[in-house]
Amino acid sequence: NAGVTQTPKFRILKIGQSMTLQCAQDMNHNYMYWYRQDPGMGLKLIYYSVGAGITDKGEVPNGYNVSRSTTEDFPLRLELAAPSQTSVYFCASSYGSGISYEQYFGPGTRLTVT
Amino acid sequence: QKEVEQNSGPLSVPEGAIASLNCTYSDRGSQSFFWYRQYSGKSPELIMSIYSNGDKEDGRFTAQLNKASQYVSLLIRDSQPSDSATYLCAVNSGTYKYIFGTGTRLKVLA
């Protein structure tokens, strides 16, 4: 049981380039999330999904897109990378939301846009 | 704006002492409360969850919840240098949204 996995671990992008951050979970969780974490700023929700085919925006969705074609995978797409997207990105999953639904995190992707 | 507040620290305690980490939240509808440990450069790791008023113990960790005061705390007994990390408090109100505090940095001095 690998839990939540993310690739790549590190990436450097030039301004205007695009990339996809991969996330997968093998816990049969319905809910998946993408967060970004900037120094001293806490975790900000980018997008979330409540099941295959269903996604919605979080607090900071601009400049990002997601898809959820399977229960296991939840990729995050960055289009036209900007320096403001330099951050650490975490994918997370849970069985659902609400009481007792604990959220588990992947190892993260450190992205630098120059 | 629903918020979760934590003192950023650093909180320094000597090895073997009890570390006390505190968190307050603004949404009275909050139902689930979580403590995560995050080592520098690593992802948040769930260490405790608590859902009802009172204490919940797991090894050296005790989570305490007081919904009337909108306060949740984490006690770490017999603190070890390996406990040095940032501790994140997270709150859920029964929806998709987990609200995280910015974390308290704990330093355990050998």
Sign of the dihedral defined by the CA atoms of residues B21, B27, B28, B29, in that order? negative
Is residue B82 helix, strand or coil?
Answer: helix
Burial class of B27 by CB neighbour count within 10 A (0 to 12, 13 to 18, 19+) = middle
Q: How confident is the model at residue A90 (pLDDT cuts 50, 70, 90)?
A: very high
pLDDT tens per residue, range A16-57: 999 999 999 999 999 999 999 998 788 999 999 999 999 999
Q: How many CB atoms lie within 10 A of CB A32?
A: 28
Short-list B39, B13, B7, B6, CA closest to B107: B13
Q: Is B39 on the interface with A (CB under 8 A)?
A: no
The Cα A67–Cα A63 span in angstroms is: 14
Q: Is a pLDDT exceeding 70 seen at residue A62?
A: yes
8 A C-beta contact, residue A76 and residue A23: yes
Q: Which residues of B touch A31 (CB under 8 A)?
A: 96
Per-residue model confidence as pLDDT tens digits over B66-98: 999 999 999 999 999 999 999 999 999 877 889
| Residue A10 in contact with partner chain B when CB distance is under 8 A | no
Looking at residues A81-102, what average pLDDT do you find?
Answer: 88
Q: Do the strands A10-13 and A109-113 form a parallel or antiparallel pair, or are they unpaired?
A: parallel
Residue A73, helix vs strand vs coil: strand
CB B36 within 8 A of CB B47: yes
| Contact (Cβ atoms closer than 8 angstroms) between residue B75 and residue B10 | no
Is cis: bond before B10, omega within 30 of 0?
A: yes
- Minimal Cα–Cα distance from B4 to chain A, Å? 10
Asked if residue B78 lies in contact with residue B62, where contact means CB atoms within 8 angstroms, the answer is no
- Flag if A101 and B32 touch (Cβ within 8 Å): yes
Note the pLDDT tens digit of each residue in B35-60: 999 999 999 999 999 999 999 999 99
Sign of CA dihedral B67, B60, A105, A15: positive
Which pLDDT does position A98 carry in this prediction?
Answer: 62
Confidence of residue A95 (pLDDT cuts 50, 70, 90): confident
Both tokens of residue A89?
């990105």
Owner of token pair 């007792």: A100
Please state, in angstroms and rounded to a whole number, the distance separating the CA atoms of residues A15 and A13: 6
Give the residue-averaged pLDDT of A67-92.
96
